[in-house]
A = this chain, B = another copy of it.
Amino acid sequence: MNDRITLDYGSGGLKTSELIESLLLPAFDNPALSQLGDGALLEGNKKLVFSTDNFVVSPWRFPGGDIGKLSVCGTVNDVCMAGGIPKYLSLSFILEEGFLFSDLRQIVTSIAEEAKKAGVSIVTGDTKVVDSGKGDGIYINTAGIGFQRVDLPGKAAIRPGDDVIVSGTVGCHGAAVMMARSGLISEESPLRSDCMTLHRISAAALDAAAVNDGAEPGSVRILRDPTRGGVATTLNEFTEGMSFSIELNENEIPVESAVDAACDMLGLDPLYCACEGRMLLVCDPSVTENILNALHTVPGGENAARIGTVTEEMPGKVLLRTPIGGRRILTKLTGIQLPRIC
């Protein structure tokens, strides 16, 4: 193999086979993939969850992860947030001519490691190569299939009095990528992307809600990972067009000091910075304590907190109560605060 990707590797011919057999098959070894058919044959289930994401993050390597890890987490998390147990992933590369093989190998290793952690198999895929100047090194698409674990009622079931929980500190991914892109981050900086798979976090929360004797089914209304647009935009998607509002307590929102410092430097707001390993959850207050206790025992959930409540005060809006007692409206992200963050 040469040390750089050439257009041949996307031809569908000999070089494509070589890439598949020398790099991809060994990394993702499983029976469905090794059939090398046009499609993978899989054991199914009555109810499926299906999700997809493109990953175009720049730079592709950032503190706490790389585009490979991100491409597994992003889709696994979407499946989890829709109430599914992730099972299978497809994996597609768009490589730019000239991309280093050593970098591709490293990304493939990240993908394999993260998929193993999440218990998902990479069962089908595709590789295309575009001419130099028509891409940016590497873009990845993953699509994920999960089996439905729970039928979440969704935002229509949210009621005044419900609690809003976040599973950890917010904005780390966006802040880390932007600092890396700006070249401002130092080796010693504690700033790291929160990029991680949420399958344990979401399972812990759903189990905790279910064991509460008093809880009705549907006490967890909705799960969502606040990626592009951050916590503020995701919560706006909950309230949009609805008869309730969400009021956040700025004091209770966990933000790492390194993220605060980075956001100050870059002129960003942590509430609009993408997370790639955090879960937002709205639930009946009767299960809040159980859920928080459960989350605190799961790696990555140590900082889980109730950050706000559902009110009726300004239907359709998300409000932030500041430490000095003021309140401001948080709108959806407008404009390009953070392009190519995932």
Residues of A within 8 A of B (CB): 6-8, 10-17, 35-56, 77-79, 81-84, 88, 90-94, 123-131, 133-136, 139, 141, 143-148, 154, 224-225, 227-229, 233, 237, 274, 331-340
Contact of A42 among B47, B88, B337 (CB under 8 A): B47
A50 & B145 in contact (Cβ 8 Å cutoff)? yes
Q: Given known contacts A43-B47, A94-B94, what 16 new A-B pairs fall within 8 Å (CB)?
A: A11-B333, A11-B336, A13-B228, A13-B333, A13-B337, A15-B335, A16-B229, A38-B51, A39-B79, A39-B82, A41-B47, A41-B148, A42-B47, A44-B46, A48-B48, A134-B136
Could you say which of A46, A129, A145, A154 has the most chain B C-beta atoms within 10 Å of its C-beta?
A145
Q: CA of A44 to CA of B237 in the docked complex: distance in angstroms?
A: 28
Contact of A39 among B81, B229, B337 (CB under 8 A): B81
Instruction: Report how many copies the assembly holds.
Output: 2
A229 & B135 in contact (Cβ 8 Å cutoff)? no
Chain B positions within 8 Å of A228 at CB level = 10-13, 16
Give, as a whole number of angstroms, the nearest-CB distance from A154 to chain B: 7
Could you say which of A37, A56, A333 has the most chain B C-beta atoms within 10 Å of its C-beta?
A37
Chain B positions within 8 Å of A124 at CB level = 50-52
B41 & A44 in contact (Cβ 8 Å cutoff)? no
Chain B positions within 8 Å of A10 at CB level = 228, 336, 339-340
